[in-house]
Structure 1
Amino acid sequence: MRLNSSLQFTLGNLARWLAIFAVIWLLGAVGLGWLVNSFLILFGLLLLAPVIAFVGFRWWLERNLIQDKCPVCRYEFTGLNKTELQCPNCGEPLKIEQGHFHRLTPPGTIEVQAVEVKSQRVED
């Protein structure tokens, strides 16, 4: 009957851990405990850095991700604040400012909205 090799406790593994512990103890006894502490602090920072980066990225994304409707076709989509993009529905160039989509028009362009007027027949 063969035992699982990952569950076996071997003397080689014990010797390796004892050697690491002996080196740490020797460095502390000689007066180089600061070296061991700096390695432990560096290891802790390496473990915390991805968590801090993830939380920071989520915070930045929540502040800069804007969901609004296209001013031309009223299609709702998402973009990053202070960027220029095209509407995926109608292709209109847009810029995102102050949390809303605005048409990207040359200076001097006058925006006009069409108004539907009902026709009435006038009888003489």
Structure 2
Amino acid sequence: MSFRTFQLSLYHLRPWLTLIVIVWLLGSLGLGWLVNSLLIIFGLLLLAPIVAFFGFRWWLQRNLVSDRCPVCEYEFTGLNQTQLQCPNCGEALLVQQGRFQRFTPEGTIDVTAVEVPAKSLED
């Protein structure tokens, strides 16, 4: 290994060596708390997005509900404990306990219409 090759390999380590020397100097001057707090902030900045990603995935798995509309049988997705409208028929629905339920105000009477064939008087 020649001197020139050794010099080039040190060139790539130069920023890291500079950082180590600065940290050592700050520590020797009694500013170790500054180095520690910067390392903690840097660690939090790296860990916060990872924890947020996995936390959001966990929350979605617990609260995302995929079910069929009780009126038109159209399958879609909603969030648990929310009120929404069916995108197919427009029926107001309430998501409770992992199921879609019709949302009707109190006192509403649900009526099912039955088609009655017309008879003529001559029969």
TM-score (norm 2): 0.74
| 2:41 corresponds to | 42
Change over 3 Å in CA distance of 1:52–1:68 after alignment to 2: same
Partners of 1:90 and 1:26 in 2: CA distance:
71
State the Cα distance separating 1:19 from its structure 2 match. 3.7
Alignment partner, residue 22 of structure 1 = 21
SS of 1:44's partner is helix
Letter in 1 for 2:84: L
Worse-superposed segment, 61-70 or 89-98: 89-98
In 1, distance between residues paired with 2:80 and 2:101? Answer: 12
Output the CA distance in 2 between the equivalents of 1:99 and 1:115. Answer: 31
Counterparts of 2:15 and 2:50 in 1: how far apart (Å)?
31
CA gap of 1:114–1:9, structure 2 versus 1, over 3 A, is farther
- For 1:25-54, what per-residue CA distance to the aligned partner results, in whole angstroms no more than 9, with x for missing partners? 111111221211111111111100000000
Structure with greater helix share of residues: 2
CA distance in 2, matches of 1:105, 1:15: 71
Q: Distance in 1 between matches of 2:45 and 2:13?
A: 26
Structure 2 counterpart of 1:50, which letter? Answer: P
Q: Secondary structure at the match of 2:81?
A: coil
Aligned residues: 108
Partner of 1:5: none
The RMSD of aligned alpha carbons is 2.3
Q: Tell me the secondary structure at the aligned position of residue 78 of structure 2.
A: strand
- Unpaired runs of 5+ residues, structure 2, are 1-7, 116-123
Structure 1 stretches of 5 or more lacking a match?
Answer: 1-7, 117-124
Q: In structure 1, what residue type is equivalent to 2:79?
A: L
TM-score norm. by structure 1 comes to 0.73
* Cα offset, 1:16, TM superposition: 4.7
